Amino acid sequence: MNELNFTKAARLISEEKSTNPGNLVPVFIENQSDFFKTFISEETETLENLKKNTEVRIALIEKSPESKYKRLFIGEMHLQLAIGRLKFEEFLSAVNDVRRANKFLSENQKKYPGFTANLRGLGFIHAIAGTIPKNYQWVTNMLGITGTVQQGLGELETLLNASRKIPELSYLENETVLMLTFLELTLDKKEQNNQKIRLRLASVKNLDRKPLLQFAKAVFHVSLAENDSVIQLLSTRKTDPSAYPLHYLDFMEGTARMNKMDLSADKYFERYIRNYKGRSYVYAAWQRRAWLKLIQNDHKGYKQLMQQCTGDAKAEGLTDEDKQALKDARSSELPNLILLKCRLYFDGGYYTQALSAIAGQPMSAFPTQEDKLELTYRLARIFDKTGNKEKAVYYYLETYNNGKATTFYFSANASLLLAKLYEDAGDKKQALNYYRKTLELRNHDYQNSIDQKAKAGISRLE
C-alpha cells in the first residue's frame, strides 16, 4: 500500500486467494486499496465502490471463525468507510461508521488486550474524540466514544514502537508514522514535537518510493515554512507509472516554487488541473496561476485565468482555499501586489524578503480597508515568526480590533494566533479568551479551518 501500486497488489491478492481461499487478509487489503483510492482521488465513483464492497467484505469476515483479526478487520473497515464518507461530507453516516468501528475495536481490545494492532484504529478514534469541545461531548458519550488527544497519540506511539520490534506488526510501521505525523501537526502542534516528527520521517526506508509518506514529509516542511526543503523533496521524487497517482504533490511543488517567485511553478499547477479529477484545490490552482501572471504585471492574463474560477462557493467538498478563489474571482479588484508578494514570501519562510516587500511603502499603497487589515496582519505574522513577540501581540490586537466587524479572515486568524501566543506563554486565561473570541467571529473567509483550530485549542486547555 505504501507504494500505491494497486495493480501489483491486486495480482498478489488474486494469487493468495487462489492458494489460500480461507485467508481473510487479502479481503482487508482489498478494502484498504479501495479506501486509499477514495481518499486520494475524491471521485464519487470510488466512494460508491468503497461503500458497496465494504458491506460485502464485512459480511464475509463476519462468517469467519473467531480470531484476533476478525473484529480488527471489521472495525478498521468501518473506520475507513467513515473517513471516506467524511471526504464527501456524509456526516451522519460517517458518525454511525465511527460508532461501529469503535464498538468492534473496543470489543477486540477487551478480548485480546495484548494485541497491539488494536491501537491503530482506537488511537485514531481517541485522538479525534479528544478534539470535541466539552459542550458537545454528550454526543460522543451517547455514541460510547471517549478519549483525549494525548491518549490517542500515546496509543499510536506504543503501536509504532511495537511495529519496530514485533515482526508480525511490521506492516503497520509506515502507516503509523503517517497517522502520527498528521495528527500531531493538526491536533497537537507543539514546537517540541517537531524534532520527534523529523526523526520519525527520517527513519522511513525507501521514502522516495512511498508517495503518501513523501506527502507527509512535505506537509511537515510546509508547517515549518521550510520551503527549500519542500522543493528539494518533491523535485527529486521518483514517479512509478504503475502506481496510483498522488497529483496533490504537483500542487504542493507549484506552491513552494511560487513562494520563491519561481515562475516555473505554473507548469505544476497546470499539470494538477489537467490530471486531477476531484474537486479539492482546483480553483485554488487556477488562482495561483493567475497570481503568477500578476507577479509579471500581466493584468489581462490574471483576469483570464481567474475566469476559470467559476462555480458555487457553497458547493459540497470545496476547501476554504477554493471558496476564497471563487470569491476573489467575483471581485473586479486586483489583489494588492505588494501584499501578495509579502504573503508568498512569508508562506515560504523567507521572512526578510517578506518584510522588505512592505517596509518603507507609503500608506497610499494600501488604500482599502482590506489592505490596511492585511498590512497589520502580515506585520504581526512576520514579527511572531522572527521572535519579536511584543510587536506581534501589538499588531495582532490592532488587526483583531480593526477587523472584527468585517468578513475578512485577518481578524479571526489574528485572534487565533494571539491565543496560541498566550497558550505557549502559559497564560491559560488569555489563551481561552482569544480562542473563544475567534469562534465568535462568523461569516469570514477560511471559517472552517480557523474554527477547527480554535476548538482544538479550547479542548487542549480545558
**pLDDT computed for residue 312 by the predictor:** 65
pLDDT digits (tens, 9 = 90+) for 134-181: 666 666 777 778 888 899 999 999 999 999 999 999 999 999 999 999
Return the sign of the alpha-carbon dihedral for residues 220, 225, 226, 230.
Answer: positive
| Rounded mean pLDDT, 327-338 | 91
Structure confidence at residue 188 as a pLDDT band (50, 70, 90):
confident
d(CA 199, CA 174): 13
**pLDDT computed for residue 315 by the predictor:** 60
Q: Are 124 and 179 in contact (CB under 8 A)?
A: yes
Backbone angles phi and psi of 455, in degrees to 5: -65, -40
Q: What percent of the chain has pLDDT over 90?
A: 74
Residue (of 331, 311, 339) closest to 323 by Cα position: 311
Q: What percent of the chain has pLDDT over 70?
A: 97
Whether the domain at 6-202 and the domain at 351-462 fall into the same CATH topology:
yes
d(CA 260, CA 383): 20
User: CB atoms < 10 A from the CB of 243, how many?
Assistant: 17
- Tell me the CATH class for 6-202: mainly alpha
Q: Are 268 and 254 in contact (CB under 8 A)?
A: yes
Non-local CB neighbours of 348 within 8 Å, separated by 6+ positions: 225, 227, 256, 259, 260
Is pLDDT of 390 > 90? yes
Q: Among 22-31, 114-123, 336-345, which stretch is predicted with the lowest mean pLDDT?
A: 22-31
CATH topology for 351-462?
1.25.40
pLDDT digits (tens, 9 = 90+) for 105-147: 999 999 999 999 999 999 999 998 887 766 666 667 777 788 8
Non-local CB neighbours of 147 within 8 Å, separated by 6+ positions: 125, 126, 127, 128, 129, 130
What's the helix, strand, coil split of the chain in %, to 5? 75, 0, 25
pTM above 0.85, yes or no: yes
| Rounded mean pLDDT, 17-45 | 91
**pLDDT computed for residue 228 by the predictor:** 98
Q: Are 295 and 341 in contact (CB under 8 A)?
A: yes
**pLDDT computed for residue 136 by the predictor:** 62
Structure confidence at residue 313 as a pLDDT band (50, 70, 90):
low
**pLDDT computed for residue 346 by the predictor:** 97
d(CA 345, CA 303): 23
Non-local CB neighbours of 141 within 8 Å, separated by 6+ positions: none
Q: Are 266 and 301 in contact (CB under 8 A)?
A: no
d(CA 8, CA 242): 8
**pLDDT computed for residue 118 by the predictor:** 97
pLDDT digits (tens, 9 = 90+) for 412-441: 999 999 999 999 899 999 999 999 999 999
d(CA 332, CA 34): 43
**pLDDT computed for residue 372 by the predictor:** 97
**Element counts in the chain: helices (H) and strands (E):** 24, 0
Residue spans per domain, the chain = 6-202, 258-335, 351-462
Residue (of 259, 257, 255, 237) closest to 246 by Cα position: 237
**pLDDT computed for residue 23 by the predictor:** 87
> Based on the number of CB atoms within 10 Å of its own CB, is 45 exposed (0-12), middle (13-18) or buried (19 or more)?
exposed
